[in-house]
Every structure is written in C-alpha cells, then in structure tokens.
Structure 1
Amino acid sequence: MVRIRLIAVGRLKEKFYIGACEEYLKRLRTMANAEILELPEESGRPDGLRREAARILDAIPKQSYVIALCIEGKTMDSPGLARVLADAQNRGYSQIALIIGSSDGLDDSVKQRADLRLSMSPMTFPHHLARVMVLEQVYRALSINAGSKYHK
C-alpha cells in the first residue's frame, strides 16, 4: 500500500476546511497509508521561506516521489495525475510526498527537490482550500487507478 504524506505549511482554522480534509483523508486511507503533516508558518520574516523550506525538506520521507504545488508548475487533468502516481509506484516509489507552502509560496530549494512541480489551476486559491483540493485529487487519482467509479 502506497504511503501519502501531505506536508502543509500553516494550520487550518476553519471548521469547513478541517471537515473536508478529514473526509478525504478517511477516503484516502481505504487505498493508501495517508497523513497530513502541518508545519509552522514563518510568513512576514525576512528568512521565513528559507526556514519553512528547511522544515519541509526534513519532513520528506526518504525515497519519496515529491510533488510540490506551485503556481509555475505543470497543470494536468485528473487522469494525468493518476498516471503520474501509477508511474511513480511502478518505478519503485512506495511513498509520495505532496507539498503545499504558505501563502508566500515555496523556497526554490523545495521546488528543486521536487520530482514534479504541479499547479492546481492558473487561478489563485487560498492555500487552505488547496489542501482540500489536493486531497480530493489524490483520492480521485487513486480511485481511477483502482478502477473505481468515483471518477466519471
């Protein structure tokens, strides 16, 4: 069973985001060993992104396929993400790490560590909403790969 770690900078405060994340995490756990790791946000400090990056890089499990969510990343549809995850597993990766930075984004060192830079959309979304969207899309991708009827 693949391990999925969503590394997110900042804490969710809004109950509706928390509830949605919990729901998709519960669904994901039927197909993967999935977890969310929240890291402290350092926004507003001159070296904030660098400090966040150090924590993020330390939190990436060894031998992980790393997907960094960033505005300049590649866009893809849900079947495309399903293919990426299946390909990573076929190449021997048993762990997938997805990274969502703070509202200030991600330091270049994190982007350079990523195997894939992914953009959810050319539109701008709150990074807390992005967490829900990523969990749903990973669930959808694994459902596609499992032949489930969730993705229509």
Structure 2
Amino acid sequence: MRVHICAVGRLRTGPERALIDDYLTRFDRTGRALGLGPLRLHEVEDKKGGGIAAEAALLARAIPNGSVIVALDERGTLLTSPEFSEHLAGWRDAGCGDLALVIGGADGIAPDLRARADFCLSFGRMVWPHMLARVMLAEQLYRAASILAGSPYHRA
C-alpha cells in the first residue's frame, strides 16, 4: 500500500525537514517487507491567497484516485499508536492501494474535503503547527510500521 502525506505548505531546509526525511526513510525501510510504502510527501501551496477553499482544491488534486483518505483534524478520533498501526494494517489488508493522509494549513481542512475523508484522525485537542504535525505524522507512521514488524522501537 502506497502511503501519501498530502500537506499544505512547503517545508524548507531545517530541523523539521531533517526529521521528516529521517522518518520517511525509516518507514520505507521498515514498511517495505510489510507491504507498506513507499511513503511520499506531496506539498501544495496556495500562492494566490485563496484561503481554505483554494487549499482544499490543491489538496484534492494531490490525493491519488481511489485513495483511502485520512484527514488530520482536531475533531477526529484519538488513537493510541498500536490502534493506529491496526488501522494501517486493516487498510492494507483490505486491498487499499493508496492511503492519503491529509494535513491542512493554518485554518485546517475545508469542510467539503473533510467530509470526503474515510477517517478523521486527531493528535489531540491542542492545535499543532501544520509543519510540526507533519513531523508527528511521519514519526507515527514509522512507529506503526515498527509495531507491525514486532520491532522494539515502540515500548507500551
């Protein structure tokens, strides 16, 4: 199952970029044997200032056709890391070819795009900067692959 992080904003060189690149590499290395990956990052940017609706249109174009869509949203479902890994394995085992995890911009995800999501995931009720949410998601994907592989990375 190919995994896509579709996010608003372009990450520049810096600590967040280094962390994401590290977790993407780790996920690809661990997930390959599990039928997970590759993991691709699709970054979109609304240069015309069209707001949340314009961001949603750009995100929608970045989502591969037929994907299971997971929207990251503060109103979504809270999961433990093992529960998230179970969801990941479930989508894979159900024959999902592409999984798109969607991160909106500063104002979140437009309601129409959020309504298209098959699942809404929350990292808690706190609001996280969308660039940091990307790092957190990349780490959780690697953690999920590690859990599924039986690796000692995750200690419950």
Same fold by TM-score greater than 0.5: yes
Measure, in 2, the Cα distance between the counterparts of 1:150 and 1:17: 21
Paired position in structure 2 for 1:41: 46
Q: What is the DSSP-based 3-state SS (H/G/I as helix, E as strand, rest coil) of the residue aligned with 1:134?
A: helix
Paired position in structure 1 for 2:153: 150
TM-score (normalizing by structure 1): 0.92
Greater Cα offset, 9-18 or 130-139 = 9-18
Measure, in 1, the Cα distance between the counterparts of 2:20 and 2:93: 27
Is the contact between residue 49 and residue 106 of structure 1 (CA under 8 Å) also seen in structure 2? yes
Q: Which amino acid aligns with 1:12?
A: L
Q: Which amino acid aligns with 1:129?
A: L
Is the contact between residue 46 and residue 58 of structure 2 (CA under 8 Å) also seen in structure 1? no
Q: How do 1:27-106 and structure 2 match up within 5 A?
A: 27-30=26-29, 31=31, 32-41=37-46, 45=49, 47-106=50-109
1:31-56 CA-partner distances (Å, limit 9, x unpaired): 1211101100369x4x4211111111
Q: In the comparison of the two structures, how many residue pairs are matched?
A: 149
Q: Which runs of 5+ in 1 are unaligned?
A: none
Q: Which runs of 5+ in 2 are unaligned?
A: 32-36
Measure, in 1, the Cα distance between the counterparts of 2:27 and 2:81: 15
Q: What is the DSSP-based 3-state SS (H/G/I as helix, E as strand, rest coil) of the residue aligned with 2:76?
A: strand
Q: CA deviation at 1:143?
A: 1.3
